[in-house]
Each structure stands twice: as structure tokens, then as C-alpha cells.
Amino acid sequence: MSSFSANFTNRDYEVKIGDYFSRGWEIFKQKAPLFVLFTLMLFLIQVVVAILPYPLGSRTDEPVPGGILSFAFNVVAPALTAGYYFVAFQLARGRNAVFSDFFQGFNKFLPIFLTALVAGILTALGFVLLVIPGVYLAVAYLFAQPFIIDKSADFWQAMETSRQLITKKWFSFFGLLFMLFLLNVAGVIVLGIGLLVTVPLSFCIVAAAYEDIVGLNSVAEI
């Protein structure tokens, strides 16, 4: 075990789901309009990609992969969604955040992209093989992206540290993710518009869990 991993995986902790929802809401409401605007932007990009005809977009009657813009969006999506954490962590530190901070993920594009790619492949393989390993990894890699953003870990270091740390309380984290799933189901029920709140709020809740269990660096590392 590396010294980096040992610094976090050797500690004991409790998963306080109710506290994380409360703290996540506190973080979200500080810049709620920005969170909603950024989420709307991501949704609109996906809508445009979906309605543009192939090969530029994804609209086609043929069973072919998505078009050029669909591929491009999938490549940059991890860096874009990482923006939720960059902003949430800044607000959790008591700092100000502006809309451009949502694009800070591009400053750490490669490790963020590799984390999404490798974790996605391993999780998919887990589902294909026995399902249970896939579920295990889907939960265990929850803190991988935050470790890259906050601690400047490399992608494998972040994935393994997250897996080892979360495995200690895996069922509690599964419960946290299940509650986030229900939160977003509620967002869908409200004509889908509720997702503009529940999606960024979910990231803020995970950020709150990370803040409590791992601890944030006093300054952002970008």
C-alpha cells in the first residue's frame, strides 16, 4: 500500500448520510443559480447532439454508434462533470466560486478522463461477469474523482485509494448512493425539471461526504 493511500485508508470513520444531505444542501444553495445554469447547459448540449443527424449528431435510423459530436461530448464529459466538485469544494472551503470554475476539470483533464475510462471499463466488466463485482466497483470508486481534484492524485492512485477507503463501509456508501438515486427519481417525476436541482445537489452531497471523511485541502490545487 502506498503512503498516499495509507494516509486515508488507515483511518476509521462513520458514514452520516443525513448530515451529508444537510451539508450538501448548504453548499448547493450558496450558488444555486450557477449550479442550475451549468446543469441546464449540459442537458442542452446532449439534446443538440441527440437531434443532429448522423454523422455529426446521433439521430439516425441505422444501428450505428453516435456521431462525431456524441463522441466528442463523451470524451469531455468527465472533465465537465468534475466541475461540480471543483465548485462544491471551493464553497465548502468558504471561498467564492464563479461560473468559469465549472470548467476547471480541463486543468486535470488526463487523470480525470483516465479515471472515468478505466473505472467505467472495470465496472462494466464486473457487471458482465457476475453483476455483484460491478455493483461493488460502482460504489467503491465514488471518491476517485474527488481525490484527483482535491489531492492531485494520479488516476490509479485515486481509484485504489477510493476503493480501499470505501470498502471499509461499503454498505453504508451503497445506502448513500441509493438515497441519491431516489433523490434524482424525484427530480424526474417533477417533469424532469427537478433534475436541474437534484443532479448538482447530488454532487454537493458526495462532496460533503468527502469533506467529512477525507478532509479538504485548505487551498484548491488546479
Q: What is the DSSP letter of 221?
A: -
User: Cα 15–163–90 angle (5° rounding)?
Assistant: 65
How far, in Å, CA of 48 to CA of 213, rounded? 39
What are the DSSP calls for 88-119, one per residue?
A: HHHHHTT----GGGGGGGGGGHHHHHHHHHHH
Q: Do 9 and 165 contact (CB within 8 A), yes or no?
A: yes
Angle between helices 195-213 and 32-51 (to 10 degrees): 120
pLDDT in tens, 137-178: 999 999 999 999 999 999 999 999 999 999 999 999 999 999
Best CA proximity match to 45, nearest among 77, 13, 88: 77
pLDDT in tens, 64-84: 667 788 888 899 999 999 999
How far, in Å, CA of 180 to CA of 178, rounded? 5
Which residue ranges make up each domain of the chain?
A: 15-213
pTM as predicted: 0.92
User: Cα 93–218–138 angle (5° rounding)?
Assistant: 75
Whether cis (ω within 30° of 0) applies to the bond prior to 33 is no
Q: How confident is the model at residue 2 (pLDDT cuts 50, 70, 90)?
A: low
Higher pLDDT, 56 or 211: 211
Q: Who's near 124: CB < 8 A, 6+ residues apart? A: 134
